[in-house]
Each structure stands twice: as C-alpha cells, then as structure tokens.
C-alpha cells in the first residue's frame, strides 16, 4: 500500500510539472511563431542560414562531449522518424500504430546485407528503404476500406507480427540474439567512424526529409492528401483518388522510416527485435501529436523534446511510459492542435497579409464606388 501511494504521489507530481511545462511551452511557441511570421523574407533566410551554420559547427563545439554529440545524433534520427510518420498521420490522416515495423525493416535489411553478404553501406541503405516501401504498399492496401480505430488495430498487428518473425526466424535474423558487427559506412574510401561522421550523415537525411515534406505539403499531391484527410467523399467528388493518396502516404512514410532504420543499424552496429517494439511506435506517435499534426516545425519540436526527455528522465525511467501517457492525455485536453499548429500558422500568415481581416466590408463597399 505504501509503494502504491508513493507511485501515485510521484505521478501527480509529474502531472503538475507537465501541465505547467505544456502551458509555458505553448505560450512560448505561440509568441515565437507570431514573431517569425512577421519577419521579412530576407531576415528569414538569414535566420535559416544561422540555424544551418549552427548545425554544421555543432560537432566541433561538442568535440569534448561525446555523450551529448551521440544524443544529438539520436535527436536527428527521431526527427526523420517523426517526419516520416507525419506524412502518414499528419498529412494523410491515417492512424498508424506500427510505424516501428518499417524502421525495423530498414535496420534488418542493412544488418543482413552488410554482415551476411558484404554489401556496401549506401547500397544497403537504399535497399532498406525499398524493402520498407514494399511493405508500406502492402500495408497501405487495407487502408482502402479501413479507417480510424480499425486501421490502427491493423497497423499494431502488422508491427507485432513482424517483431515475432524477427524473434523466431533464427536462421535468418539470429532471433533474440540480434545481429552484431554491422560495419561503418565509407565515403570515397574513407571509413566514417565516431559520432561526428554519423552526425553529418543523419543531418543530410534530416534536410532531405524536411525538403520532401515541405515540397509534398505545397504540391498538388499534398493538397490531395489534405483533402482525403478532411473528407474522403468530398475529395473524391473533386477528382482526387483517395486510394492512391493513402497508398502514396504509407509508401513514402515507410521508405523514409526504412532509411532511418538502416542508419540506426550502422550507427549502433547492432540490431535486436527489442529495439522495435510497440512502445517505439508509440514514442514516434507522441512526437507527432506533441508537435502538431501536419506541422513540420511542430513535429521537429516534438521530436527534439521527446528525444531529449528520456535522457532527462533516466533517473526515473520506471515512470517514463506513464509520463508519456499523461503527456498525451494532457495534450489532447489542453493543446489538441499541438505545440505549433499548422492551422494557426496559416491563419496568422493570412492575417499578416491582410491585417484588416479577410472580410473587409468597408474596402469592398468603397471599391464599388459607393
């Protein structure tokens, strides 16, 4: 009874801290996004250039801090994973709770090809993305008839089936023992060793993933995904094929997650089925929900927060997943749109372009000569 009261007291304490943290962060990001929208194009480019320069010199600044640099690599890796799920969930509106399966496919493809067959890292990385994309296509087919909770159950089942195959197919995956000895990549004959080389590889992957996500969001396909997310029947009546849009979202998200899995396998030089459990999918999902569904800046912020949070909670790791659950529940109640909402960014941008409001009846009256 004493232990139960201690656990409840600790959870209440952490809940209060999370509540305050969510309120403070929400106000900060509201203020920051409002100020950023008002910044001119030249200053925005200068700001992006500053962020880019900081990202490039960060390994030099952390040369004497290998732990922080390694944590930075994992933060960037989770940004890629969160953005890949954001394509499926945030842009297409398909609730996937088995995203870690695509992550695992990329990792095991990298491990098997490099260790068992001696394939080059870069070829194995591409192969991991292709294999994950094929399974994403296969998983995308049930989405033609399923949605919501039913789709989530299918994706959970897919993730668990794959994990059990990895555990029991010992002759191919080495079962629970995993696959050790995954080699480091090489670039023009120079072996990439240490955290610095991996940092720059994953940084390039992050930049490419952001560009793909942004281009997709602004493209005709992105608008089709948004239409399917809002109303499938209305989208179909306007000439959008919901089936193609859903499958596209699953395939693209799976390919990017497969690339991330291949990188992870080479980075840690070892893969094991326990790295790709259902809770890993929940962690990635929490990043997307925390940041804001469909919001690229928000998803990046959510990934950074939740990638660093486990390190901060290392002393209280027993409560980690309980805190994740409390965080999700609080976000749904307090801030359902996420830390940086895509809709609020669009509204503020429109308001900035027309400070007197979209429906300026006085201007319309005068323009008609009345």
H helical segments located in the chain? 2-38, 41-61, 66-86, 100-116, 121-140, 148-168, 170-173, 194-218, 220-230, 232-237, 242-268, 278-291, 296-312, 320-334, 342-353, 361-367
pLDDT tens digits for 158-199? 999 999 999 999 888 999 999 999 999 988 778 887 899 999
Neighbours of 153 (CB within 10 A): 14
pLDDT of 93 over the 80 cut: yes
Q: Mean per-residue pLDDT for 341-363?
A: 51
Q: How confident is the model at residue 300 (pLDDT cuts 50, 70, 90)?
A: very high
How far apart are alpha carbons 278 and 230 in whole angstroms?
Answer: 28
Q: Mean per-residue pLDDT for 4-28?
A: 81
Q: How confident is the model at residue 363 (pLDDT cuts 50, 70, 90)?
A: very low
pLDDT of 230 over the 60 cut: yes
The pLDDT of residue 316 is 67
Chain position carrying tokens 């925390």: 290
Give burial (CB, 10 Å; 0-12/13-18/19+) of 30: middle
Percent of the chain with pLDDT over 90: 50
Q: Mean per-residue pLDDT for 29-52?
A: 80
pLDDT of 52 over the 90 cut: yes
Q: Mean per-residue pLDDT for 35-51?
A: 79
Among the residue ranges 106-120, 214-228, 233-247, 314-328, the one predicted with the least confidence is 314-328
Torsion angle, alpha carbons of 290, 294, 300, 306, to 10: 20
Q: How confident is the model at residue 336 (pLDDT cuts 50, 70, 90)?
A: confident
The tokens of 193 are what?
């060793």
- For 45-101, the DSSP string reads HHHHHHHHHHHHHHHHHTTT-HHHHHHHHHHHHHHHHHHHHHIIIIIT----S-THH
The pLDDT of residue 10 is 78
Partners of residue 190 on adjacent β-strands: 187
DSSP secondary-structure letter at 104? H
Q: Mean per-residue pLDDT for 69-82?
A: 96
Q: How confident is the model at residue 348 (pLDDT cuts 50, 70, 90)?
A: low
pLDDT of 317 over the 90 cut: no
> Distance between terminal CA atoms of the chain?
78
Dihedral sign (CA 351, 357, 363, 365)? positive
How far apart are alpha carbons 94 and 87 in whole angstroms?
Answer: 9
pLDDT tens digits for 194-221? 899 999 999 999 999 999 999 999 899 8
Q: How confident is the model at residue 319 (pLDDT cuts 50, 70, 90)?
A: confident
Percent of the chain with pLDDT over 70: 90
Q: How confident is the model at residue 358 (pLDDT cuts 50, 70, 90)?
A: very low
The pLDDT of residue 342 is 67
The pLDDT of residue 354 is 52
DSSP secondary-structure letter at 238? T
> Max CA-CA distance within the chain?
83
Q: Mean per-residue pLDDT for 19-43?
A: 79
pLDDT of 261 over the 70 cut: yes
Q: How confident is the model at residue 364 (pLDDT cuts 50, 70, 90)?
A: very low
pLDDT of 293 over the 80 cut: yes
Average pLDDT across the chain, whole number: 86
How far apart are alpha carbons 117 and 112 in whole angstroms?
Answer: 7
DSSP secondary-structure letter at 235? H
pLDDT of 146 over the 90 cut: no
Chain position carrying tokens 């870069």: 122
Q: Mean per-residue pLDDT for 290-299?
A: 90
pTM here is 0.88
pLDDT of 137 over the 50 cut: yes
Report yes or no: 124 and 110 within 8 Å, Cβ to Cβ: yes
The pLDDT of residue 7 is 77
């Amino acid at each position: 009874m004493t232990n139960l009261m201690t656990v409840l007291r600790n959870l209440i304490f952490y809940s209060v801290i999370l509540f305050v943290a969510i309120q403070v962060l929400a106000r900060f990001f509201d203020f920051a996004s409002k100020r950023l929208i008002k910044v001119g194009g030249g200053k925005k480019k200068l700001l992006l250039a500053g962020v880019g320069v900081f990202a490039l010199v960060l390994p030099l600044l952390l040369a004497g801090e290998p732990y922080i640099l390694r944590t930075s690599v994992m933060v960037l890796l989770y940004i890629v994973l969160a953005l890949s799920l954001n394509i499926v969930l945030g842009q297409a509106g398909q609730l996937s709770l088995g995203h870690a399966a695509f992550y695992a496919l990329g990792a095991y493809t990298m491990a098997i090809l490099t260790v068992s067959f001696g394939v080059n890292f870069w070829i194995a990385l591409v192969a991991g993305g292709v294999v994950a994309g094929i399974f994403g296509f296969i998983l995308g087919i049930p989405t033609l008839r399923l949605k919501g909770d039913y789709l989530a159950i299918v994706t959970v089942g897919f993730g668990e089936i794959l994990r059990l195959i990895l555990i029991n197919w010992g002759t191919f995956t080495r079962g629970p023992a995993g696959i050790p000895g995954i080699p480091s990549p090489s670039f023009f004959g120079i072996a990439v060793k240490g955290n610095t080389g991996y940092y720059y590889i994953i940084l390039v992957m992050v930049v490419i993933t952001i560009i793909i996500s942004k281009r997709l969001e602004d493209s005709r396909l992105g608008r089709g995904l948004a239409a399917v997310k809002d109303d499938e029947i209305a989208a179909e009546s306007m000439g959008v094929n919901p089936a193609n849009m859903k499958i596209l979202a699953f395939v693209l998200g799976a390919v990017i997650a497969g690339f991330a899995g291949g990188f992870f396998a080479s980075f840690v030089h070892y893969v094991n089925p326990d790295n790709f459990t259902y809770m890993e999918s929940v962690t990635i999902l929490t990043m997307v929900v925390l940041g804001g569904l469909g919001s690229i800046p928000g998803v990046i912020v959510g990934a950074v927060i939740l990638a660093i949070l486990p390190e901060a909670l290392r002393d209280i790791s027993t409560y980690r997943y309980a805190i994740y659950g409390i965080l999700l529940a609080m976000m749904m109640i307090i801030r359902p749109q996420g830390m940086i909402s895509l809709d609020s960014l669009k509204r503020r941008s429109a308001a900035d372009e027309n400070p007197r409001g979209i429906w300026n009846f006085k201007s319309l009256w005068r323009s008609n000569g009345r």
